[in-house]
């Protein structure tokens, strides 16, 4: 793999106009990655999902060079109907379109940051890979006091014209004071067996509101890793919803730093898996100052030899008195071969806090099925009704009604 | 201040902190094959036992000390320890308690461990382990009548080799982790219990561990076998003198329950925790593992952990037999600079297996406490259930409380439920108690005892009282 990395790296550097210093940094990241390789199960955070092994078994040898000089045709049929929205379109890892047609132009700034590499704290070798190979990186700045009128949808599309086996994406967002953004990540893959490595960085200033909905719904054979870093200022709110369903393997990491007082973070997620899929959500909520709040709810329905992993950590610094942290994960195992692993973790250094977590996993309740069947439903209907209700609980946590309905329609959940 | 006054002051903090001036026989310092042969030789062990030790030692040399635990400690120099230390008077084993060195008897009297006649009233059979050797076992005759074997493990190796050979290392093999393997290589003594088929052990069995000599590691090994349909309740207590350096205690405990058998294992651990600035204290790195080998068997661990500078242990149950039950009740208290990383592992292999974990952690002062646990339901363990509850209580903002559970469910017909909370003693509760005339310290003691009650109830009567007092003492000075 080393030769391949080196060769592809040299190719991609050639097409970029970078200063010597930036090339040095990228080289350094590449060397780091070559040194560490893909994360494997010996690393605590990857205990339940050995990415190295998964890539080996599903893709084999990776290639990393993407020729991004020519444009791809934007397929408008993938766009969401019935909801007016702003768009960012990625096709095979290349940004094809950034379109804020519904917004005031002077309130949003798009800054090309391709030349600056910012390190993520609390990261792994995949961030090195990302640093080495991302060739375009934009920062979207929402200016003070501006609240986007329409949601922003990021379309992440891959198709058969893809160059290599690995795509690295990066986007930075800054939400200035009193601003707000609703963001939907939509994945649409027709390519087969690629490794997508996505890093987002959010910076929320005082009173900013971020609502991020990550929807991986469509069946595909890709392997995805997505890392969200969220830094929150005073009084800010972040809401993250994850629908984890389509890809063959997917790991979503949310790292949330509550730096300002009264900041709050919400992470809600659904795993709906079948057919040998293996998905993971790992969340780290760092309560770093007083009076911060976090709430997490993860529910899984696992069928046909699928496997879901939830690793959630609540960290409370010794300054972070009056913290309120809550975390709950529940799983229904429908199939004998399916598996649910959880590691809900608390690390607490302050005494005046209220932190709790719960985790439960098991089969569908036979008594509930019996109850429904005795009222005339078939076995299949009762099962569906129970699962529907089980998942609806999480979808109802979405605070934006427009998007809630959109997501409900997407996964076919009835009220 | 004269020495006597000093001693008295010390005793106020940790009343077991005295050391006994007794002549010792020690193995040469360091760890090598010769030392292992020395230990084996002095214990007049058969060849297979020496082979067992050497095999473990061979493996030990390639192992690395683990470093994933939360409490970090300075590197231990394993060559700077004595691996065998025994009171000189024990060289030719005394035939009865009357022949025991009076100094030893006095030590145990000071500790409140009655070895002599007057203690019969208590009705607990005691095996006392002093540094590396077992010094006395009481109530032997009465137990022998029922066919129960309760003796030092070194005696069992001589007298019951067939049992020891069959079961020793069957739950904790010589190829296990670093500290367990070290123990397999150099263990010196410990207790051996065999309860024959269908016998219900008429009294509590108890071992009392005491580290006396300095610079020694204590490596004892306990093996308990409950044959079909039998029952035994076993208690373990421990203390050590106050010394400035850290001492290592790496014991192995193996429990085996055959069909329909039940073992109840209780520990009140009160090793010297170090002084207020975190100097000295015992490193308590113990491997405890129980195997529910037969159908309908049950193993229950209860522990009250108040001592030690660092406690690092996970009493585990392997639920192999169908319908077997594993239980774990724990109170862990850390104060001053103590650190604990403790919890349990429940490995469900058989059908209809059940496990229950109740863990209460209290941290005060500048201490740090971690609950780390594993619940693993394998794909064959149909219809199994687990319930876990771990609560932590924090006192003061310099301490930490952490919960790290690993939950693995591979069977769709099994259920796992896990709950954890962390909080502090509420102002309302304190206010309520103080209003009724308790001083703040008493109020905290009362609330903490209530918090721990679920676990304290599991202890045998005699221990429960001691444990309850210990809970109070451990938290002294942490209020206000």
B479 touches A: beta carbon within 8 Å: no
**Which residue in the set B397, B409, B422 is minimally distant from A340, CB to CB?**
B409
User: Which of B403, B409, B423 shows the shortest C-beta gap to A353?
Assistant: B423
Distance of CA A124 to the CA centre of its chain: 16
Residue among A312, A349, A353 with most chain B CBs within 10 A, to mutate: A349
Min Cα–Cα distance to chain B from A17, Å: 44
Per-residue pLDDT tens, chain B, 480 aa: give them: 455 555 545 444 566 666 666 666 777 778 888 888 888 888 888 889 899 999 999 888 888 888 888 888 888 888 887 787 776 655 555 555 555 556 656 666 665 555 544 344 345 566 666 655 555 566 777 788 888 888 888 888 888 999 999 998 899 988 888 999 999 988 887 888 999 999 998 888 877 776 666 656 678 889 999 999 999 998 887 666 666 677 788 889 999 999 999 999 988 887 778 877 778 888 888 999 999 999 999 999 998 888 888 889 999 999 999 999 999 999 898 888 889 999 999 999 999 999 999 999 988 888 899 999 999 999 899 899 999 998 888 888 888 899 999 999 998 888 999 988 888 888 888 899 999 998 888 888 888 888 888 888 888 776 777 777 777 777 766 664
A232/chain B closest Cα distance in angstroms: 24
| Rounded-to-integer distance, Cα B293 and Cα B295, Å | 7
Cβ-defined contact of B412 to A334 (cutoff 8 Å) = yes
User: Which pair of tokens denotes residue A259?
Assistant: 């730096």
Say if A354 is an interface residue toward chain B (CB within 8 Å).
yes
- Rounded to 5 degrees, φ, ψ at A299 are -125, 140
Residue B469 in contact with partner chain A when CB distance is under 8 A: no
Which residue is closest to A360 within chain B, CA to CA?
Answer: B417
DSSP code of residue B367: -
If contacts are CB pairs under 8 Å, which of residues 217-236 in chain A contact chain B? none
Element (H, E) at A29: helix A20-36
Q: CB B397 to CB A338 under 8 A?
A: no
Of B314, B317, B383, the residue nearest B351 (C-alpha):
B383
For chain A, positions 304-323, list CB contacts with chain B under 8 A.
Answer: 318, 321
Backbone dihedral angles phi then psi of residue B290, each to the nearest 5 degrees: -120, 140
Q: What is the ipTM of this complex?
A: 0.84
Chain B, nearest residue to A319 by Cα: B397
* Of A338, A343, A346, Cβ closest to residue B412: A338
CA of A410 to nearest chain B CA: how many angstroms apart? 27
B98 three-state secondary structure? helix
CB contact under 8 A, A361 and B416: yes
Residue owning tokens 């005696």: B155
Q: For residues B167 and B223, is the Cβ–Cβ distance under 8 A?
A: yes
Residue B421 to residue A349, Cβ atoms within 8 A:
no
Out of A338, A339, A345, the one facing B403 most closely (by C-beta) is A345
CA distance B467 to B454: 13
Alpha helices in A89-240 (DSSP H): 125-133
Instruction: Using alpha carbons, select from A351, A287, A321, A346 the residue that is nearest to residue B364.
Output: A351
A–B interface: beta-carbon pairs under 8 A? 114
Q: Does B381 touch chain A (CB under 8 A)?
A: no
Q: What are φ and ψ of residue B401, in 5° steps? A: -135, 125
For B381-402, write each residue's pLDDT tens digit. 989 999 999 888 888 888 889 9
Closest CB from B414, B417, B422 relative to A346: B422
Q: Where are the alpha helices (DSSP H) in B146-295?
A: 153-159, 161-167, 178-186
Q: Does B394 touch chain A (CB under 8 A)?
A: yes
In whole angstroms, what separates CA A318 from the centre of its chain? 29
**Residue B349's CB: how many other CB atoms inside 10 A?**
18
Q: How far is CA B125 from CA B115, B145, B262, B349, in A?
A: 9, 14, 18, 34
Which residues in chain A have their CB less than 8 angstroms from residue B379's CB? 336-337
Q: At what angle do helices B47-62 and B178-186 cross, to 10 degrees?
A: 150
- How is chain A split into domains, by residue range? 85-363, 366-415
Q: Does B424 sit within 8 Å of A353, measured CB to CB?
A: yes
Nearest residue to A271 (alpha-carbon basis) of A332, A314, A356: A332
* Residue with token string 């190829």: B175
Cβ contact, residue pair B418, A359, below 8 Å = yes
Q: A347: nearest CA in chain B? A: B402
pLDDT at position B105 is 62
How far A319 CA lies from chain B's nearest CA (Å)?
8
Closest residue of chain B to A354, computed from CA coordinates: B423
CB–CB contact B421 A356 (8 Å): yes
- The phi and psi torsions of A78 (rounded to 5 degrees) equal -80, -10
pLDDT (tens, 9 = 90+) of chain A, 415 residues, equals 777 888 888 877 777 777 777 788 888 888 888 888 888 888 888 888 888 888 888 887 777 777 766 777 777 788 888 888 898 888 888 888 888 888 888 888 888 876 666 665 556 888 888 888 887 788 899 999 999 999 999 998 888 777 778 888 888 899 999 999 999 998 888 877 888 889 899 999 999 999 999 998 888 888 999 999 999 999 999 999 999 988 889 999 999 999 999 999 999 999 999 888 999 999 999 999 999 999 999 999 998 889 999 999 999 998 899 999 999 999 999 888 889 999 999 999 988 888 889 899 888 888 999 999 999 999 999 999 999 999 999 999 999 888 998 888 887 777 6
Q: Does A369 touch chain B (CB under 8 A)?
A: no
In DSSP terms, which residues pair with B235 in a beta bridge? Answer: B206, B266
Each residue's pLDDT tens digit, A276-329: 899 999 999 999 999 999 999 999 999 888 999 999 999 999 889 999 999 999
- Based on the number of CB atoms within 10 Å of its own CB, is B395 exposed (0-12), middle (13-18) or buried (19 or more)? buried
The number of CA neighbours under 13 Å toward the Cβ of B114 is: 11
Contacts of A355 in chain B (CB under 8 A): 421-423
CB atoms within 10 A of CB B230: 24
Largest CA distance in chain A: 74
């Amino acid at each position: 793999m080393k030769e391949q990395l080196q060769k592809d790296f040299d190719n991609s550097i050639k097409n970029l106009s970078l200063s010597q210093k930036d090339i040095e940094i990228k080289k350094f990241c590449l060397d780091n990655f070559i040194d560490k390789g893909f994360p494997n199960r010996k690393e605590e955070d990857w205990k339940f999902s050995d990415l190295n092994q998964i890539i080996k078994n599903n893709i084999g040898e990776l290639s990393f060079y993407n020729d991004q000089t020519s444009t791809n045709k934007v397929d408008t049929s993938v766009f969401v109907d019935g909801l007016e929205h702003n768009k960012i379109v990625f096709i095979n890892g290349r940004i094809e379109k950034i379109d804020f047609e519904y917004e005031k132009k002077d309130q949003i700034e798009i800054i090309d940051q391709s030349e600056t590499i910012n390190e993520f704290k609390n990261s792994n070798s995949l961030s090195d890979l990302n640093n080495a190979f991302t060739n375009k990186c934009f920062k979207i700045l929402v200016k003070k006091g501006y609240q986007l009128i329409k949601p922003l949808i990021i379309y992440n599309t891959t198709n058969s014209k893809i160059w290599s086996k690995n795509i690295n994406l990066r986007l930075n967002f800054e939400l200035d004071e009193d601003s707000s953004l609703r963001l939907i990540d939509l994945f649409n893959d027709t390519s087969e067996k690629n490794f997508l490595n996505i890093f987002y960085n959010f910076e929320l200033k005082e009173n900013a509101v971020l609502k991020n909905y990550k929807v991986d719904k469509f069946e595909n054979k890709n392997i995805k890793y997505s890392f969200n870093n969220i830094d929150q200022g005073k009084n800010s709110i972040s809401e993250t919803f994850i629908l984890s369903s389509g890809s063959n393997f997917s790991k979503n990491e949310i790292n949330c730093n509550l730096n300002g007082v009264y900041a709050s973070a919400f992470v809600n997620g659904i795993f709906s898996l079948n057919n040998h899929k293996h998905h993971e959500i790992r969340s780290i909520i760092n309560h770093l100052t007083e009076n911060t709040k976090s709430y997490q709810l993860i529910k899984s329905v696992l069928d046909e030899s699928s496997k879901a992993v939830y690793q959630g950590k609540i960290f409370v610094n010794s300054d972070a008195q009056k913290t309120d942290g809550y975390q709950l994960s529940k799983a229904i195992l429908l199939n004998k071969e399916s598996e649910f692993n959880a590691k809900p973790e608390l690390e607490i250094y302050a005494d005046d806090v209220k932190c709790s977590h719960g985790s439960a996993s098991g089969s569908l309740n036979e008594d509930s099925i019996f109850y429904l069947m005795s009222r005339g439903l078939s076995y299949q209907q009762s099962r569906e009704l129970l699962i529907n209700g089980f998942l609806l609980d999480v979808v109802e946590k979405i605070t934006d009604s427009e998007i809630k309905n959109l997501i409900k329609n997407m996964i076919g959940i009835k009220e | 201040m004269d020495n006597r006054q000093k001693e008295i002051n010390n005793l106020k903090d940790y009343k077991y902190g005295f050391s006994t001036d007794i002549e010792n026989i020690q193995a040469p310092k360091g760890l090598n094959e010769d030392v292992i042969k020395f230990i084996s030789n002095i214990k007049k062990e058969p060849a297979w036992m020496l082979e067992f030790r050497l095999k473990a030692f061979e493996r030990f040399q390639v192992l690395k000390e683990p470093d994933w635990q939360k409490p970090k400690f300075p590197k231990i120099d394993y060559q700077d320890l004595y691996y065998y230390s025994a009171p000189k008077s024990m060289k030719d084993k005394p035939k009865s308690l009357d022949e025991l060195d009076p100094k030893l008897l006095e030590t145990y009297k000071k500790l409140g461990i009655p070895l002599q006649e007057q203690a019969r009233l208590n009705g607990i059979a005691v095996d006392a382990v002093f540094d590396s050797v077992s010094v006395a076992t009481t109530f032997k005759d009465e137990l022998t009548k029922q066919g129960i074997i309760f003796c030092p493990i070194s005696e069992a190796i001589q007298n019951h080799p067939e049992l020891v050979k069959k079961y020793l290392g069957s739950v904790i093999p010589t190829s296990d982790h670093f500290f367990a393997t070290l123990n397999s290589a150099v263990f010196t003594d410990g207790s051996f219990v065999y309860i024959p088929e269908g016998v219900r052990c008429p009294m509590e069995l108890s071992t009392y561990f005491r580290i006396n000599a300095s610079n020694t590691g204590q490596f004892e090994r306990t093996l308990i076998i409950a044959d079909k349909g039998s029952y035994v309740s076993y208690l373990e207590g421990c203390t050590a003198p106050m010394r400035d350096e850290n001492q290592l205690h790496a014991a192995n405990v193996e429990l085996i329950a055959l069909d329909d058998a039940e073992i109840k294992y209780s520990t009140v651990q009160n090793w010297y925790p170090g002084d207020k600035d975190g100097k000295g204290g015992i490193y308590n790195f113990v491997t405890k593992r129980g195997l529910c080998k037969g159908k309908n068997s049950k193993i229950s661990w209860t522990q009250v952990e108040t001592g030690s500078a660092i406690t690092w242990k996970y009493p585990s149950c392997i639920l192999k037999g169908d319908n077997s039950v594993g239980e774990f009740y724990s109170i862990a208290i850390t104060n001053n600079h103590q650190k604990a990383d403790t919890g349990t592992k429940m490995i469900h292999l058989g059908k209809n297996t059940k496990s229950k974990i109740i863990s209460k952690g209290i941290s005060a002062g500048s201490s740090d406490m971690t609950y780390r646990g594993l619940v693993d339901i394998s794909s064959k363990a149909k219809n199994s259930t687990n319930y876990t509850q771990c609560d932590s209580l924090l006192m003061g903002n310099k301490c930490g409380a952490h919960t790290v559970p690993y939950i693995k469910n591979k069977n769709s017909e099994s259920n796992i439920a896990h709950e954890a909370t962390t909080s502090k003693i509420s102002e309302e509760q304190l206010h309520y108690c103080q209003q009724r005339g308790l001083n703040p310290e008493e109020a905290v003691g009362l609330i903490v005892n209530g918090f721990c009650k679920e676990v304290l109830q599991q202890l045998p009567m005699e221990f429960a009282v001691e444990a309850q007092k210990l809970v109070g003492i451990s938290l002294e000075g942490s209020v206000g």
